[in-house]
Amino acid sequence: MEKSGRPFSVKRTVKWGDCDPAGIIYTPRVFDYLVESLEAWFREVVGVSWMELNWEMNMGMPMVRVECDFVRAPRPDQEIEVEVRVRKLGAASVTYALTGHDGAGQHYFRATLVGCFIARPDFKPTRVPDEFRARIAAYQAACGDG
């Protein structure tokens, strides 16, 4: 469930199938959580979906770098809220800070993702479009960042 406030966040319940025989989340699934949260953020804040960005506008925003600290391992049925903030708005790239927490101060993971705008079909980096830039900067301001 997406929350319309600022910072933007997505709530999800850790699924049985997200977890491995250790009974905790399987590490790669955390990156599904992160990228899916960023996708939802992009649709709401930037105003276009990744499908529109790629198939209609002939652009894209692939990740060029990801780092993540796993503070505590989520277990099945736990509710996790993934919060998305913008740390840096560059010429072609945007640096995001995402945090997975339980809404009561317990952190599960903290990540930094760097996405770079590219033009298709050659995937060369391209400037963040002005309209997008304005919306992202407004989001930063609404979050008290930037």
Report the interface residues with its own copies, using CB under 8 A: 1, 13, 15-17, 19-24, 26-29, 31-32, 34-36, 39-40, 43, 49-51, 54-55, 60, 62-70, 73, 75-77, 120, 123
Closer residue to its own copies in complex, CB, 36/131 = 36
For 36, the enclosing helix (H) or strand (E) is helix 27-41
Shortest distance in whole angstroms from residue 141 CB to its own copies: 27
Name which of 91, 6, 82 is nearest 44 in CA terms: 6
Tokens of 56: 């209609």
What's the closest the beta carbon of residue 89 comes to its own copies, in angstroms? 20
Shortest Cβ distance from residue 15 to its own copies (Å)? 6
